[in-house]
């Protein structure tokens, strides 16, 4: 295409076929540079096109129990989610926490879980205390990175908008304007749960998740079941009990839990 043809194309928006040889393999699209009318396609799109170009994962309950949990999180400030493994307790809680942070309903997310040894000692792990605790907090990172990119999670942690800490680091704090998730609460004693629950501050939501049937503590030490039974009579606190039918992992998980 000659310079004169190119200028005419930019000015008039139509193709000068004489500028191409008959055997040329190169073809130009009939494009209006300004993206305006005439019905021509433009990479800039239509100025009146209001389609949503972004992609956002939406949370949809897959069972009645999950629907009840999501509804309770929207309505209450303190929620206890009890149920077997695979019912989505932690994932739904963290997903709602991310949603609240992104929408500006809260100023930060605080995630905590007890660093209780499940048959192995953390003493053999290399590194300092943070390195030793990292494997216990890994499930929380996994849930976060599924809702946010790893880069964004790291940035929010550096800014202090997301905090992940063991239960032992929570004493003496007041968590205002925060979405708090206490995971694996079946490994907390009654005293520890009392301490954690009283951390709740103004404009905050706390979700406590756990399965009383899978405690790694000695028999009788876990306080989750006792606390849940006591809170059943409190109208301002939601206790959601998920069942085997709410399990969304492999179908064998529900079968195994039914016989183990």
Which architecture does CATH list for 64-259?
Answer: 3-Layer(aba) Sandwich (3.40)
> Residue 18: its pLDDT value, please?
58
What would the two tokens of residue 27 be? Answer: 């073809």
Dist. CA 41–CA 13, nearest whole Å = 11
Query: Rounded to two decimals, what is the model's pTM?
Result: 0.73
Phi, psi of 210 (to 5 degrees): 170, 170
- Angle at which helices 190-197 and 224-231 pack, to 10 degrees? 50
Average pLDDT over the chain, rounded to whole?
80
Break the chain into its structural domains and give their ranges. Answer: 1-48, 64-259
Residue 161 has what pLDDT?
95
Distance CA 253, CA 203 (A): 37
Nearest to 181 by CA among 247, 103, 236, 100: 100
Contact 218, 58 (CB under 8 A): no
What are the pLDDT tens digits along the chain (260 aa)? 566 666 666 666 555 555 555 555 555 555 444 444 555 544 444 544 444 434 456 788 999 999 999 999 999 999 999 999 889 999 999 999 999 999 999 999 999 988 765 544 555 556 655 566 677 778 888 889 888 888 999 899 899 999 988 888 888 899 999 999 999 999 999 999 999 999 999 999 999 999 999 888 888 899 999 999 999 999 999 999 999 889 888 778 777 877 87
Tokens of 22: 């008959």
What's the CA gap between 178 and 164, in Å, rounded?
A: 13
């Amino acid at each position: 295409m000659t310079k004169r043809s190119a200028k005419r194309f930019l000015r008039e928006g139509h193709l000068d076929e004489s500028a191409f040889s008959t055997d040329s393999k190169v073809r130009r699209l009939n494009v209006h540079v300004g993206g305006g009318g005439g019905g021509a396609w433009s990479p800039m799109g239509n100025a009146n096109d209001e389609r949503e170009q972004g992609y956002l994962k939406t949370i949809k309950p897959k069972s009645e129990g999950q629907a009840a949990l999501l509804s309770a999180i929207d309505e209450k400030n303190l929620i206890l989610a009890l149920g077997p493994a695979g019912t989505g307790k932690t994932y739904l809680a963290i997903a709602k926490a991310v949603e609240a942070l992104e929408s500006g309903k809260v100023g930060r997310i605080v995630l905590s879980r007890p660093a209780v040894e499940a048959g192995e000692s953390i003493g053999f792990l290399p590194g300092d205390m943070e390195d030793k605790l990292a494997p216990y907090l890994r499930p929380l990172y996994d849930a976060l990175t599924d809702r946010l990119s790893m880069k964004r999670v790291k940035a929010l942690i550096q800014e202090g908008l997301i905090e992940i800490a063991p239960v032992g680091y929570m004493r003496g704090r007041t968590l205002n304007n925060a979405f708090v998730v206490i995971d694996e609460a079946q490994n907390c004693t009654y005293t520890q749960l009392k301490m954690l629950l009283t951390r709740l501050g103004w404009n905050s939501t706390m979700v406590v998740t756990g399965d009383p049937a899978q405690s790694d503590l000695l028999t009788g030490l876990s306080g989750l079941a006792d606390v849940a039974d006591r809170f059943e009579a409190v109208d301002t606190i939601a206790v959601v009990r998920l069942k085997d039918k709410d399990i969304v992992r492999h179908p064998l998980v529900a079968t195994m839990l039914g016989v183990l």
